[in-house]
Amino acid sequence: MVKIKVAKTAGFCFGVDRAVKLVYNEIKKGGKSATLGPIIHNNQVVNDLQKKGIRIIEDISELAFDEKVIIRSHGVGKSIYNEIEQGGKIYIDATCPFVSRIHKIVSEKTQEGHIILIAGDSEHPEVVGIIGHGEKNCMVFNDSDELKEIFLKNPDFLEKKVAIVAQTTYNIILWEECLKALPENNSNIIIYDTICNATSCRQEEAIELSKNSDIMIIVGGKHSSNTIKLYNICKENCNRTYHIENSDELYALNLMDAKRIGITAGASTPAYIIKEVQTKMTEILNNFEDDINFEEALAQSFKKIHTGERVKAYVVSVNNSEAIVDVGTKHTGYVPLSELTDDPTKTPSDILNVGEEVELIVTKINDQEGIVTLSKKKVDERLGFEKIIKAKEENTVVDGIVQNVVKGGVLASHKGVRVFIPASQTGVGRNTKLDTLLKQKVEFTIIEVNEQRRRAVGSISAVLKAQREEAKAKFWESAEIDKVYKGEVKSITNYGVFVDLGGVDGMIHISELSWGRIKHPSDVVNMGDMLEVFIKELDKDANRVSLGYKKTEDNPWEKFKAQFNVGDIVKANIVSITPFGAFAQIIEGVDGLIHISQIANRRVDDINEILSIGQEVDVKILEIDTDKKRISISMRALLEDEEDEETSGEIVEEKAMDEEVIEEETTETDITEE
């Protein structure tokens, strides 16, 4: 039975896949576009694109006035960008981000005065593009011998600053040799290993595969530099290494006497061509009794990563709807925005940066298209759940946003993990709807975790209780008689109100609420009112605090004392009638008693016949006892005063009349004597 193994890294690399997709995308949009050189070194793909209207141009001057230019993954030098911009043309930049990184290094190091040495093929478009960012400051070497020669011919380089980069597809074995050939311990030389991970992985796998194969098939364009390198690498280990462009070329090969066949492909070889090679090979090898299920072999070979696997990836680019990542296989990794975050206000660039390493979970693999879909949210959820478990173990407080009200409670999200908080643990009163918590940030402890089902239960009440205990301890540390607090009215009873002092509730007795008479505390305060109170009494053991609310300066008795004296005549309002007399308000908060005997200057049997509630009467103050808070007032005293006045008036009149009579009599006597 012939064993066939397909390299896991065979086929499109990320950069090529991206470039090809960008071109097909332009076709979909419908505008006119041309690629600056063939988009990849693969005739089938290039022919297909040409059939769909994509022209290939070699120079920007060939662009039609209404045509966009697509820069391929190899990239171009600065001068080309300038030419495009000066010509007012639009370009689509499909330069592979890994190549762009080299452009950046070369440009920056040139600015800093480094000489740039590039490992690669000086005629390869990628190297030509790199040179175009180095301001004529670059030299290219093909191998270690050429590198040594550069230093021999330019001994002053040993004293100068030198930066070394490599073409992304440079041979990794040659690169190792070049590094060994460099002058030793020269701190002026900076080495940037810019060989693309996809390339090095592909080459390393090709070395291993070719060592263990009787026949090696390398699939890829005849002009593809990386495919040629793969061929050369494999040829070193396997004599029967063949470079083919498509499945038709298999017929020309003798495959029959091989026991192990290895297949790999260049970075610009589409998956469908590899599949065609597989299928055709199946047909050819069908003559063998022990047929091989090549489809399965292909599928198996592509499964370097698995759905559900946690992988590390590098962020290659981000746009408004997704992040593109390099997962270290031939697949292109996509992380849709919906798998980055739940936060609708965030975009991928708020969450990930290009070049950053990120942990992701594989949610879908499409080997046919070479695409893998990944999720950051799922990693966050796992990490979040680990934190939840830790929070439970350590009884620490976590926070989260309440996302939903569900049957029996609410769901709060903590770092992507949804935590159920039962209604009884929300700290929300029975008469308040749980909706009040929606979208609110809440703090809670974890009271239950089910690791298998990834469920967690939280408690806001526990946090509130702990906060109250802390506040209570703080209160008792500093509480003292007469200390003033501001607090909210939490409840109102018939005998007083309870005020939250922060951890401890204090009570204002009804008698302390007002200097005047009140029927119920709600006559003075309402629920939720903020009151300024002071401590009247403290009992820490019983956790009891009595509060005062009414102020001395508002004491009506003080006001009364300052204003009135015994003997004053005042107006008063009858406020209550009892069998022994009537109470009348003199000023607010101060009532005087008109004893039944002081209501009239005659015997009174029924007070109600003379007085009624609300009636205003004139009274005389007979007695003031501020200690006992008693004032005696009298209506009768005023009546008697009036009588006295009347009586004294009559006496004066009689006296006057008497004097008049005497005078008359005297006058008559005088006349007689005369």
Query: Which one among 171, 199, 210, 332 touches ligand F3S, defined by CB under 6 A?
Result: 199
Q: Which of 20, 45, 96, 372 binds ligand F3S (CB under 6 A)?
A: 96
| Smallest distance from ligand F3S to CB 128, Å | 15
Under the binding rule (CB under 6 A), the answer on residue 437 touching ligand F3S is no
Q: Does 169 bind ligand F3S (CB under 6 A)?
A: yes
Nearest residue to ligand F3S on Cβ basis? 15
Q: At residue 89, what is the residue type?
A: K
**3-state SS assignment for residue 165:** strand
- Given the rule CB under 6 A, which of 95-103, 359-367, 466-474, 592-600 is the region that contacts ligand F3S? 95-103
Of the candidates 311, 321, 316, 260, which has an alpha carbon nearest to the alpha carbon of residue 285?
260
Burial class (CB in 10 A: 0-12, 13-18, 19+), 451: exposed
Q: Is 170 in the site for ligand F3S (CB under 6 A)?
A: no
Q: Closer to ligand F3S at the Cβ: 196 or 228?
A: 196
Rounded Cα distance, 367 and 275, in Å: 11
Residues 6+ apart with CB under 8 A from 521: 492, 493, 494, 495, 496, 497, 508, 510, 513
Q: Look at residues 473, 557, 468, 542 and name the one whose alpha carbon lies nearest to residue 507.
A: 542
Helix, strand, coil percentages in the chain from 3-state DSSP, rounded to 5:
40, 30, 35
Q: Find the shortest distance in angstroms from Cβ 309 to ligand F3S.
A: 21
Nearest Cα neighbor of 213 from 452, 3, 443, 518 is 3
Quick one: which of 605, 602, 615 has its CA closest to 579?
A: 605
Q: Which of 69, 77, 98, 141 binds ligand F3S (CB under 6 A)?
A: 98
What's the CA dihedral at 253, 256, 260, 265 to 10 degrees?
A: 20
Q: Is 645 a catalytic residue?
A: no
Between 241 and 332, CB nearer to ligand F3S: 332
What is the closest distance, in whole angstroms, from the C-beta atom of residue 16 to ligand F3S in the complex? 5
Q: How far is the CB of 96 from ligand F3S (least distance, A)?
A: 3
Candidate list 168, 425, 426, 632; residue touching ligand F3S; CB under 6 A: 168
Q: How far is the CB of 73 from ligand F3S (least distance, A)?
A: 4
Q: For residues 196 and 421, which CB has a smaller minimum distance to ligand F3S in the complex?
A: 196
Element (H, E) at 147: helix 144-153
Tell which one of 36, 196, 535, 547 touches ligand F3S (CB under 6 A). Answer: 196
Applying CB under 6 A, among 71, 94, 99, 228 the residue interacting with ligand F3S is 99
Among the listed residues 538, 590, 598, 315, the one whose alpha carbon sits nearest the alpha carbon of residue 324: 315
- Which residues are CB-neighbours of 462 under 8 A, at least 6 positions away? 425, 444, 445, 447
Q: Please identify, using beta-carbon distances, which residue of 130 and 298 lies nearer to ligand F3S.
A: 130
State yes or no: residue 209 binds ligand F3S (CB under 6 A): no
Q: Would you say 167 or 445 has its CB closer to ligand F3S?
A: 167
Q: Between 169 and 459, name the residue whose CB sits nearer to ligand F3S.
A: 169
Q: Which of 83, 112, 123, 126 is catalytic?
A: 126
Cβ at position 60, least distance to ligand F3S in Å = 22
Structure tokens at 105: 């290094």
Does position 10 interact with ligand F3S (CB under 6 A)? The reply is no
For residue 284, give the nearest of 233, 235, 215, 238 by alpha carbon: 215
Restricting to residues 233-292, which ones interact with ligand F3S according to CB under 6 A? 267
The packing angle between helices 172-181 and 144-153, to 10°, is 30
Q: Do 109 and 189 meet the contact criterion of CB atoms below 8 Å apart? A: no
CA–CA separation, 352 and 380 (whole Å) = 13
In the list 2, 4, 6, 16, the residue contacting ligand F3S (rule: CB under 6 A) is 16
- Range in contact with ligand F3S (rule: CB under 6 A) among 194-202, 330-338, 399-407, 576-584: 194-202
Q: Which is nearer to ligand F3S, 198 or 633 (CB)?
A: 198
Q: Are 293 and 286 in contact (CB under 8 A)?
A: no
Structure tokens at 394: 């350590």
In the complex, the smallest distance separating the C-beta of residue 196 from ligand F3S, rounded to whole angstroms, is: 3
DSSP 627: T
203 binds ligand F3S (CB under 6 A): no
How far, CA to CA in Å, does 181 sit from each of 147, 156, 346? 7, 17, 49
From the CB of 408, what's the least distance to ligand F3S, in Å?
A: 52
User: Which residues inside 477-506 make contact with ligand F3S, applying CB under 6 A?
Assistant: none
Mark the segment that binds ligand F3S (CB under 6 A) among 151-159, 179-187, 191-199, 666-674.
191-199
Question: Least distance from C-beta 232 to ligand F3S, angstroms?
Answer: 16
Which residues lie below 8 Å from residue 640, measured CB to CB, with a gap of 6+? 601
Should residue 15 be labelled a site residue for ligand F3S when binding is judged by CB under 6 A? yes
Residues making contact with ligand F3S (CB under 6 A): 13-16, 73, 96, 98-99, 168-169, 196, 198-199, 267
Active-site amino acid positions: 126
